[in-house]
Chains A and B, each alone.
Chain A
Amino acid sequence: MKSALSNIAIAAMLLAPTLSHAATTEFPARRESKGATLRIASVTDLPVFRPMIDAFQSRYPDIAISYEESTSDTLDVVLEKACLEEKDFADLVISSSLPRQIWFVNEGCAEPIDEVAQGGLPNWAQWRNEINGLTYEPAVIVYNKAAIPPDKVPRNRFDLIDLLRSSNTYNGKVGTYDIERSGVGYFFAFEDSEQASTWGRLLESFGRNRVKLFCCTGEILDRVADGRLLFGYNVLGSYALERMRKDNRLGIIMPSDYTLVMSRTAFIPKTAKAKAAAKLFIDFVLSREGQSILEDKMNFTSSLRGAEGLKDQLTGGIDSLRPIALTPALLVPLDQEKKRTFIEQWRQSVNPDRGP
């Protein structure tokens, strides 16, 4: 596939064509052993992920783990390069950057993992027995509870569009991802555009209200919490929910018209050295023990539990949740022509006013 990389990604590639620059943390085997080191390439913050590594190592004390954390854009570049050149770079990849993951599998660069206990995984959360969705993460709208009275909280995108139209209060007070800088932001925006015709009207009202654009989830959450923003649109729900538990100034809406759900996926590159250990790890995350660590210690919902795990936070019914299936259709957002036209239209609509 033609290289379809954002400017940021190209910069990252020029600076660091491998993961060597990434923050790597070593977890030596708990017991003296000659076992292989399992190299996990991930985009999840280590403090969030650490409980899983701890639990895995107490179960398998012979396996040493090397956790290589990077941004999804950097990881995407590394994945593309490694696949096309058939280079070894990690034993297990866990990322939220779905399209590039699917591309990697579609190119035949992933290893089949039949023996993994993926029996319970729903159809949408796996493809070709090579890639498995581990988590269930909704795209949500966050709002500032102090500024939005409960009776005015929009339940869905139609309510939001009406609210944004109703007064000038929200001018410059709505934030979302800058899809030219954020991979997950582009992906959610793209999926939005394919879901319903509300997308066009939403973009229009974003433009009218001089929407603020950000690279990262944290920035949006910070600003909504302290009132610099009133709404944050399409925020990755796992982070928002975690923040909400600690910060009661934040409110969360899972739009009742539809709520996109994406999954953090795991696969084993064909070039991996510690394939058996990588399979054990996926197995472990999907096991009962792994699920409870995901949910209790990492504040994720397991893909095995799915909607069931989110039902307390739902705004609409359970059928408003739309998990994004792992299929080759995810190659479309990667298409260079598609991406170019999409970003062009988006830019025209939102008339970007980049956030500070």
Chain B
Amino acid sequence: MIRLSLISSSVAFRLVIVVTGFLALAACAGVYAAYSYGRAAADQAFDRLLTGAALQIAERISVDDGRTVVDLPLSAFELLSLAPDDRVFYRVVGPRGNTLTGFDALPLPTAETTGNKIIYETAYRGVPVRAVEVRRRLAEQSISGQTAVIVAHTMDARAGLARDIAAKAMAAVALATLVIILITFWATRFALKPLDRIETSIKARDPTDLSPFTGKAPREIEALVAAINHFMGRLDSRVRDMQDFVADTAHQMRTPITAMRAQTELALEEDNPQRLKATLIKIRRRAVGVSRLMEQLLSQALVIHRSDTVPLSKTDLRRIALEAEREYRTSSLKQGDGIELDFPEDNVPVMCDPFSLREAIKNLLANAFTHGQPPVTLKVEIKDGFALLKVSDRGPGLSAEITEKAGDRYIRNEDKPESAGLGISIVRQVLNSHQGELFTWRAEDSALWLGFRLPLAKEGADA
């Protein structure tokens, strides 16, 4: 298992393994080829020797006084002695197929041929030999016909030469293999150097530095560096959101809690029951405000979390609006208040995270009830390729200054301490991750409209 993990973890090692494997195959093929070539070369060389000796003997066959005679030339055997340790056999066959001289036990070739020369392998008294038969036609007055000279020898010198050639080739192949493996190893190390550089530069960074890596990277790992940079970007924005959230929460909680403390102290010193009750009512309103603030902070944290992680799905905006209305009505609406719904007949498909969008709509409703005057209307429509969602009330509306800042955080109407002031900010954050847009305007009937628009989901987009 250690070896497996080593194989998968080291690029250089994997490369060397693959290269070595291929080289081993190539080396085997090379050695086999070298041995075959060595055999062929040795056979060719020594067959010529045999043929030369046989031709020399054939030349010395003559007819003397009506008899076929052979005057064996010494030079033929000196030629054969060039294969120093090989045993030599010969046989001369006359025109009538009778052996004129030589070794009777040396077999004739079995294959028929029309040529003047046959090279064949056979056995002399159980020992394998390579033989050549050379034919010569006698055309004398008294004798005519074919004579044959067979010369054979054992194959020690051939095998020796073939082995020698193969051994030299093997040494060369082994050396080349070793060199290529070393080069591969070195080349891998060289090619992977930029990775070391990136590693060093990342290691040398300040722990809080999440800025993208800008050093030069080889083209092959640009994608990897981009992925790292993207990841770091997300991490960076996440960390920043978290820091902001913590800072905001601390800031947000401090004021109302300080106020409540002051009011409870006042209440402790109050003897007048009438005024005591008024102070208690104030404290209760503060407490409601803090509780709503908590809810909104949690809702905001959830929205922030989901904006980076939850994939958008195709959903009907009318359904989300309806659900948001129902939830808001059951949790926060006082008896007697109502929400007018104005939905189109047709499906309004948008790509969204239904949970976040529902939160946004609930915040819009809360905003309308907190700052405006009933009756509140919730309207969904399709216009110019966008899905529109609008909430209207009959309140005085926000001042010009506040309208300008609508959506910024904690712009709170101090007259209404139970308002947390985070509502529009959450809406804006949700819209950011939905390519949506927040807007407000006053209609001619003096109703204040606050709403957003989202791009319609394309036909066939995945749900």
Task: Enumerate chain A interface residues (CB-CB to B < 8 A).
Answer: 1-2, 105-108, 127-129, 194, 325, 327-329, 331-332, 335-338, 341
Contact = CB atoms under 8 A, between A and B. Distances in A.
Interface string B74-89: 1001101100111111
A335 B85 contact: no
B101 interface: yes
B312 interface: no
Nearest to A336: B101
Given A106-B88, A108-B125, A337-B72, A328 B80 contact: yes
Given A194-B74, A329-B78, A341 B87 contact: no
Contacts of A107: 87, 125
A332 B87 contact: no
Interface residues of B, number: 26
Contacts of B73: 332
Interface in B72-113: 72-74, 77-78, 80-81, 84-90, 92, 99-104
Contacts, number: 64
Contact of B88 (A129, A325, A331, A341): A331
Contact of B78 (A1, A2, A327, A335): A327
B74 A2 contact: no
Interface string B57-85: 00000000000011111100110110011
Interface of B: 69-74, 77-78, 80-81, 84-90, 92, 99-104, 125, 127
B104 A2 contact: yes
Contacts of A335: 70, 72, 101-102
B81 A328 contact: yes
Contacts of A331: 77, 88, 90
A347 to B, nearest CB: 16
Contact of A337 (B71, B78, B89): B71
A329 B102 contact: no
Contacts of A329: 74, 77-78, 80-81
The majority secondary structure among interface residues of chain B is: mixed
B85 A128 contact: yes
Nearest to B92: A337
Contact of B77 (A2, A332, A336): A332
A1 B80 contact: no
Contacts of A341: 69, 71
A335 B71 CA distance: 9
B326 to A, nearest CB: 107
Nearest to B77: A329
A327 B100 contact: no
B49 to A, nearest CB: 12
Contact of B87 (A1, A106, A129, A338): A106
A337 B89 CA distance: 15
A146 to B, nearest CB: 40
Given A2-B104, A331-B88, A335-B101, A108 B74 contact: no
A341 B64 CA distance: 11
B72 A328 contact: no
Nearest to A190: B74
A-B CB proximity, top 7 nearest: A329-B77, A328-B88, A337-B101, A327-B81, A338-B72, A106-B87, A335-B72
Nearest to A326: B81
A108 B72 contact: no
A108 B102 contact: no
B77 A1 contact: no
Contact of A332 (B74, B85, B92, B100): B74
Contacts of B85: 127-129
